Amino acid sequence: MDKFIINGKKRLTGEVTINGAKNAAVAILPATLLVNGVCTIENLPNISDINIYCDILKTLGVKITQIGPNTIEVDTTKISCIDAPLDMTSKFRASYYLIGALLGRCHRAVVGMPGGCQLGARPIDQHAKAFEALGATVEIGQGKIQATTDKLIGNSIYFDIVSVGATINAILAAVLAEGVTVIENAAKEPHIVDVANFLITMGADIHGAGTDIIKITGVKELHGGSYSVVPDQIEAGTFMLAAVATRGDITIKNCITKHLDPLSAKIEEMGAHVEEINGDTLRVWCDERPKKVNIKTLPYPGFPTDLQSQMGVVLATAEGTSMITESIWESRFQYTAELNKMGAQINAQGKVAIFEGVEELYGAPVAASDLRAGAALIIAGIAANGITEISHLEYIDRGYEKIDEKFRALGADIKRITE
């Protein structure tokens, strides 16, 4: 079991370059199954979720060739329409995109019940609703999801709730369906636009991605091509909050500054600074103790739930009492118990957490409970006085490429040890 050992109380300064977005990449990879040809995917993050996805695609007969550190070639000319391996697909949440993609390509999909970070109940009823609207039969049971159809026919889909995954899955299933599909109450996250842009590049007819109504006109076939994954909004936000938490000064390169507006607004409300250097570079710095703010997580363009725990670290030492309301996931405050071991004073009850800002955190042994909680604990360890030991790095490895190297380059004293 690997651990991070952090010798804290370091002010982070310098430049960091952001990788491609995990949550776009884990949808674009299965989306290649809809293509009859060869796709080159650039700016692919080198993280464990992507490695597992590539292994799953290989079991379906997809040929994957690494042609650069962050570039692969995916040949989906000949695939086998067989069940996806249940043990591999149930390891992570994003395997549910195989259902939309395989339904589109093979008219049949069998996938293990998706696993992933423990954030509370993670139903997939809206995904099933979309597939059924397009003419598929969906059965969920015995640890797997099975969807079959003779043919997919475009239809209206009105989602009961805003769901990133269900929106992308509906797009995947609709791209090769016969006729027109209109998705209403769609999610608007940057990675939805990115998946749509990938499919459009390969010949799909999609309008409105990034708004709450998306119209897809089915096409007969998608062709190969090249695509570069959008920069990771959440990785960029993680480093922005690391700058504030350590009272540092970080220039964040290769990000889309517009995607970070909900976070930039909150950072400025706390009294720290964000300067847009150009459309893809931001400088974030903090000279004094940040002031309290209240946060409510919401679908894009609201404050992202995936930056909630990193923001929690900042609020743990902000001046005054702050409140975070988590409105997306049932259980995303597990990290607060770990921060309390480091001297924070956080009272989390259900979907609300109250942060009584303390002067400083001190190092302690803590455990990551999910991907973003893990990132938050790294930031806390770098800011805290003393030594912090973080276990369960497997969560962090799922979504951040070389996170320790990147923090070291900014002045953190962090090392990975294998016990």
Catalytic residues: 117
The DSSP-derived string for 183-200 is: EES----HHHHHHHHHHH
Tell me if 296 contacts ligand EPZ by CB under 6 A.
Answer: no
Candidates 16, 18, 23, 149; binder of ligand EPZ (CB under 6 A) is: 23
Closest CA relative to residue 103, chosen from 140, 147, 143, 138? 147
Tell me if 355 contacts ligand EPZ by CB under 6 A.
Answer: no
Candidates 76, 89, 90, 126; binder of ligand EPZ (CB under 6 A) is: 126
Stretch that binds ligand EPZ, among 157-165, 208-216, 219-227, 403-411 (CB under 6 A): 157-165
Nearest distance from residue 42's CB to ligand EPZ, in Å?
20
By the 10 Å C-beta count (0-12 exposed, 13-18 middle, 19+ buried), 110 is classed as buried
Strands 352-356 and 387-391: unpaired
Place of tokens 């990879």: 29
Stretch that binds ligand EPZ, among 120-128, 334-342, 359-367, 389-397 (CB under 6 A): 120-128
Candidates 33, 282, 371, 396; binder of ligand EPZ (CB under 6 A) is: 371
Tell me if 328 contacts ligand EPZ by CB under 6 A.
Answer: yes
| Residues of this chain, 46-85, that bind ligand EPZ according to CB under 6 A | none
At residue 306, φ and ψ (nearest 5 deg) are -75, -5
Instruction: Give strand pairing partners of 145.
Output: 111, 140
Tell me if 4 contacts ligand EPZ by CB under 6 A.
Answer: no
Tell me if 124 contacts ligand EPZ by CB under 6 A.
Answer: yes
Nearest distance from residue 220's CB to ligand EPZ, in Å?
29
Strand stretches in 175-272, DSSP E: 180-184, 205-207, 213-217, 225-228, 249-253
Stretch that binds ligand EPZ, among 7-15, 118-126, 287-295, 313-321 (CB under 6 A): 118-126
Candidates 6, 12, 16, 26; binder of ligand EPZ (CB under 6 A) is: 26
Q: What residue type is assigned to position 289 of the chain?
A: R
Question: Could you give the CA distance from residue 162 to residue 184 in angstroms, rounded to a whole number?
Answer: 9
Candidates 45, 154, 165, 218; binder of ligand EPZ (CB under 6 A) is: 165
Tell me if 127 contacts ligand EPZ by CB under 6 A.
Answer: yes
By the 10 Å C-beta count (0-12 exposed, 13-18 middle, 19+ buried), 220 is classed as exposed
Q: Give 117 or 272: the residue with its C-beta nearer to ligand EPZ.
A: 117
Contacts of 130 (CB under 8 A, 6+ apart): 100, 157, 159, 166, 169, 170, 173, 183
Positions in the binding site for ligand EPZ (CB under 6 A)? 23, 26, 93-94, 117, 121-127, 161, 163-166, 187, 305-306, 328-329, 371-372, 399
